[in-house]
Chain A
């Protein structure tokens, strides 16, 4: 049972406050690891970045902070994907859409923060001036407010995911069918965002941000704050996800994955379970997108390309699906490899990525975490 491995000696049954249950979702080692991770992200990295001169061996460069910050956003997406795929058994090829929706929602705010500092010196964002628009379209209303932007970051992916998911799950679309349909949805959205008339900057998207909440967006301090926020978001997501999968909800979810008809015949309606985890997953992606855009400085429709969404799946598969640390490890491994390859051997990156897809599915179905467990088990067994 869930309580047996917890930090606290929780009673196995009876009334237990929710906060304690959340606390019990992770074991002692996991809490220590999270604390170390947060200490690194919130204290050590800022100190090494700001206090040490660039020549120092221990100096953490702005490039490294942006890279790690970006990968932490990816890790957040990977955890979201793992919730729906690893635990729910539903492979989405549309998570790039939710990521982009969050990014665009927050990008609108960042565009408005540019104010008159754009190349046309106008009140409207540059691309609207370029299109000869005279005023903001209605859906840009309120985009100058941080609060509204933050609301949209959550609400937009949630609404899109809810509407799409409701109809798809109600029609009992499953497996590969669902994957293909999510891919089609994302593809349609990408085409829509590529149009200039849609009002989101066409194929250039949003870029050249200047400020966030009035602070210069490229200043080292701003970067470190964004970096820290991303780390906190990732840590909070992991705790939330751990609680979720250890709750009875999580057990029903994996039960749906393994034998959906049995779940129905014992009286659970899989529609609402799938829909809940689907919307949660989409919202987490949206948050990741919103954290990604100010750090990377650009959002455009290519985030919605099929390749991006499938790559998310491979992060999860490489790390090990059905575990929570797996997606994080996977996101870091693949993306660090990507930034190394694209600098050193750009023409071999796709070969490597392609091989990774094949090797992981053929030889490492449990990913790196599974490999590690197997090695540990062999070590533990009598030689």
Chain B
């Protein structure tokens, strides 16, 4: 498994680093020199007067596994929208590493600099096979011209096969993804994320609808990914959060209410008030 996520050489002539892959994109190399992967400062987003995010501050270290919890409407999904470029903040800074200003990039550009996102509701290509889903997600040059002429190399096929095995879909490679079970779809989406080889993974309720067994295996996978990748996991399932074992941030009404390890947070009086310590 570790070999799978080692930095992977590409066959294509242009398979170089992420920053050159969209022809029109000029961004710096991801700079993790200060040990911070993601840095949000005073982010505010409002919809018709309602502040979905209110002066949110958040810093994720390189290689960190962070869990975000909070009641409904706390701004978890909006925060992910801001990081991935879907929503532009009204004010505030969002930096990826030291140099990449996320508020200036489009969604595909943000994906290219190394941020992968899993949606709350599994979002996969239902008409494509599981294999094709992974193929499309694979880190490569994603410009139109390259796609027209693309042809999978032997290594590419091996990588897709490895990932299929990892997410336990190797028996379902040629089935349309729409026919997979809910848990399988969740796994397929995680697999697609891994194929992107992102530096930072945003996972919105990744184990919703999974069996306990699947949930535990997912937790193991995430823990093994941490260190090499930074992970931000939004989850309601406290058993899962506990299993992940990382730092926990509690969001409430668009800002950070408390931060620390799970036990500290769960004993925080304000958290208990708004969240009833669930």
Q: Quote the shortest CB–CB distance from A269 to chain B (angstroms).
A: 4
Residues of B within 8 A of A276 (CB): 144
Name 10 A/B residue pairs within 8 A (Cβ), A-sorted: A13-B151, A16-B151, A247-B147, A251-B132, A252-B136, A261-B119, A267-B142, A267-B196, A269-B22, A269-B108
A255 in contact with B136 given A261-B123, A273-B144 (CB within 8 Å): yes
Residues of A within 8 A of B136 (CB): 248, 251-252, 255, 263, 266, 268
Partner of B154, one of A14, A248, A259, A266: A14
Which residues 96-146 in B have Cβ within 8 Å of A in the complex?
A: 106-109, 111-112, 116-117, 119, 123-128, 131-132, 135-137, 139, 142-144
CA of A268 to CA of B111, assembled, Å: 8
Contact B142 A268 (CB under 8 A): yes
CA of A16 to CA of B150, assembled, Å: 10
CA of A374 to CA of B196, assembled, Å: 38
CA of A276 to CA of B21, assembled, Å: 18
Residues of A within 8 A of B196 (CB): 266-267
* A12 contacts B by Cβ under 8 Å: yes
Partner of A268, one of B108, B132, B151: B108
15 additional A-B pairs beyond A14-B151, A248-B150, A254-B128, beta carbons within 8 Å, are A13-B152, A13-B154, A247-B147, A248-B135, A248-B136, A249-B148, A251-B136, A255-B128, A262-B125, A263-B136, A264-B106, A264-B107, A265-B117, A267-B111, A273-B144
A247 in contact with B148 given A258-B126, A265-B84, A269-B22 (CB within 8 Å): yes
Q: Quote the shortest CB–CB distance from A175 to chain B (angstroms).
A: 18
* B46 contacts A by Cβ under 8 Å: no
Interface residues of A, dominant DSSP: helix
CA of A270 to CA of B108, assembled, Å: 9
Which residues 157-181 in A have Cβ within 8 Å of B in the complex?
A: none
Contact A266 B111 (CB under 8 A): yes
Residues of A within 8 A of B116 (CB): 265-266
Using C-beta atoms within 8 Å of the partner chain, give the interface range for chain B: 35 or more
Over the window 1-34 of chain A, the binary record of Cβ atoms lying under 8 Å from chain B Cβ atoms (1 yes, 0 no) is 1000000000011111010010000000000000
* B192 contacts A by Cβ under 8 Å: yes
* A interface residue numbers (CB < 8 A to B): 1, 12-16, 18, 21, 244, 247-249, 251-252, 254-255, 258-259, 261-270, 272-273, 276
Contact B147 A252 (CB under 8 A): yes
Residues of A within 8 A of B22 (CB): 267, 269
Q: Quote the shortest CB–CB distance from B162 to chain A (angstroms).
A: 15
* B270 contacts A by Cβ under 8 Å: no
* B153 contacts A by Cβ under 8 Å: yes
CA of A18 to CA of B84, assembled, Å: 36
Contact A272 B143 (CB under 8 A): yes
* Chain B residue at minimum C-beta to C-beta distance from A322: B127
Contact A251 B123 (CB under 8 A): no
CA of A267 to CA of B124, assembled, Å: 14
Residues of B within 8 A of A12 (CB): 152, 157
Residues of A within 8 A of B152 (CB): 12-13
CA of A15 to CA of B154, assembled, Å: 10
CA of A266 to CA of B84, assembled, Å: 11
Residues of A within 8 A of B150 (CB): 247-249
Q: Quote the shortest CB–CB distance from A254 to chain B (angstroms).
A: 6
Residues of B within 8 A of A13 (CB): 151-154, 156-157
Contact B131 A1 (CB under 8 A): yes
Q: Quote the shortest CB–CB distance from B222 to chain A (angstroms).
A: 19
CA of A272 to CA of B119, assembled, Å: 24
CA of A264 to CA of B156, assembled, Å: 21
Q: Quote the shortest CB–CB distance from A4 to chain B (angstroms).
A: 9
Q: Quote the shortest CB–CB distance from B253 to chain A (angstroms).
A: 26
Q: Quote the shortest CB–CB distance from A38 to chain B (angstroms).
A: 26
Residues of A within 8 A of B154 (CB): 13-14
CA of A252 to CA of B108, assembled, Å: 13
* B3 contacts A by Cβ under 8 Å: no
Residues of A within 8 A of B108 (CB): 264, 267-270
* Chain B residue at minimum C-beta to C-beta distance from A18: B149
Which residues 63-77 in B have Cβ within 8 Å of A in the complex?
A: none
Residues of A within 8 A of B107 (CB): 261, 264-265
Residues of A within 8 A of B128 (CB): 251, 254-255, 258
Q: Quote the shortest CB–CB distance from A161 to chain B (angstroms).
A: 15
Residues of B within 8 A of A270 (CB): 108
* Chain A residue at minimum C-beta to C-beta distance from B152: A13
Over the window 27-47 of chain B, the binary record of Cβ atoms lying under 8 Å from chain A Cβ atoms (1 yes, 0 no) is 000000000000000000000
